[in-house]
Structure 1
Amino acid sequence: MNALLVLDHAGVAVFAATGALAASRKQLDIVGFVFLASVTGIGGGTFRDLVLDLPVFWVLNPAYVLVCAAVALLVYGTAHLMESRYRVLLWLDCVGLAAFGAMGAAKGLDATGSATLAIITGMLTATFGGILRDLLAGEPSVLLRSEIYVSAAMAGAAAYTVSVAAGLPQALSLAIAFAIAFIIRGGALRFGWTLPRYKPRAGRDISGGE
């Protein structure tokens, strides 16, 4: 199993776990666990494949859906053991974002040969599943939190494209991309890193003419 395939399965499993944790916070039944785990685990990759006009990955290999279901069952039986499920959700989301940012960039670069599109597909793969999870579960959206989120995925995807362009092996490029995205997002969670935010200002007074 090559590095890309390992990262792909790991990303699906980790994101599926965040979906199942969201289901546990809403006290859903086992079907709800499997549904949220599956939507979160395969949502970003599905969107990526549709954008790239590629066969949807889990249709070609249904094992991905089985991974989501297995993770959902595991979390269903163990979620009560976690002291802060939302905190665990955020850190697992950080791991999934780093993995999918790298893997999505790799698939985008292979499909298009464009560094720009690789960064975009990496960002979409890394963030879309989590956005769907929060929307469906009624959780506070990770996209709207003040800490860096999307930018971490884009940084990881960019690191992958730069590493490949520099001639580094794919496995090393994936590891570099994962590490950069994880450090940025993890630092944002741990230290509250943010980008400058828009601050409203009083509009120009046009009552006196130009």
Structure 2
Amino acid sequence: MLTDLFSPSVQHSLDLVGIFVFAISGALLAVRKNFDVFGMTVLAEVTALGGGVLRDLIIGAEPPAAFADLGYFLTPMLATLLVFFLHPEVERITKAVGVFDAAGLGLFCVTGTMKAHAYGLGLTFAAALGVATAVGGGVLRDILAHEVPSLLRWDRDLYAVPAMMGATMAALLIHFDALSATTSVIPVLTAFVLRLLSMHFHWRAPRAWHRRSAAAEEV
């Protein structure tokens, strides 16, 4: 279990940081969509907790952690209040928010993989749920905001690929019985750095070969 690698207080603190940053991105999208404060809260909660709830429901961890820990539930509300009152200032530091979002991506893809494996899933499916933990909330956020999920758009910097790398590395460490508090940092940092590099250099996944150039671009 996760507590074998990190103390409960450390794990809880890391989770709250990741939840807070993901919630910020959800609340900011709600502002851009001209949602009211309730809509902002919903998007913040879904973005921050959606992936973890999906994972916990699939592996049978009931109730999901999001509904068993008041801190998990209240942290997105705190993020919503921050954006509600200070969204121009928060918008101006979107690059910094992007860095923390990348850190949350790296953390959640690894901890999601570890938790799924601890509940009995094979390594392949555990890694898949690790990716879902990291990116699922963003997909639900975009769907609720009536947008094509950024995860599926070719004109967005790599997001799922860094999560896949981190989750796969975590699964390999588990397979070789090499996962520890120290080695678990490696896949987290890999996903984090890869996401930062993709943001800086605008790396994107390739589209279909021989794609008709005359086809309309969707933006």
For 2:108, the aligned partner's letter is: F
Deviation at 1:107?
Answer: 0.7
Question: Could you tell me how far apart the structure 2 residues matched to 1:84 and 1:59 are?
Answer: 32
Report the equivalent of 1:206.
none
Report the equivalent of 1:33.
40
Deviation at 1:4?
Answer: 3.4
**Residues 40-119 of structure 1 mapped to structure 2, 5 A cutoff:** 40-55=47-62, 56-84=64-92, 90-112=98-120, 114-119=122-127
Segments of 5+ residues of structure 1 without an aligned counterpart are 203-210
Structure 1 runs of 4+ with >6 Å offset: none
Query: Deviations along 1:119-155, whole A, 9 cap, x unmatched?
Result: 1110110111001112222345321333322121111
Structure 1 contact 155–181 (Cα < 8 Å) conserved = yes
Among all aligned residue pairs of Structure 1 and Structure 2, give the percentage whose two residues are the same amino acid.
33
For 1:103, the aligned partner's letter is: T
**2:185 aligned with 1:180, yes or no?**
no
- Residues 201 and 131 of structure 1, relative CA distance in 2, 3 Å threshold: closer
For 1:45, the aligned partner's letter is: G
Question: Could you tell me how far apart the structure 1 residues matched to 2:193 and 2:57 are?
Answer: 29
Deviation at 1:200?
Answer: 3.8
Alignment match of 1:128 (pick from 89, 111, 136): 136
Alignment match of 2:26 (pick from 13, 19, 24): 19
Report the equivalent of 2:4.
none
Structure 2 contact 113–129 (Cα < 8 Å) conserved = yes
**Quick check: which has more Rg, 1 or 2?**
1
Question: Could you tell me how far apart the structure 2 residues matched to 1:170 and 1:184 are?
Answer: 22
Deviation at 1:17?
Answer: 1.1
Deviation at 1:83?
Answer: 4.8
Deviation at 1:18?
Answer: 0.9
For 2:26, the aligned partner's letter is: G
How many pairs are equivalent? 202
| TM-score of the aligned structures, taking structure 2 as reference length | 0.81
RMSD, aligned α-carbons? 2.4
| TM-score of the aligned structures, taking structure 1 as reference length | 0.84
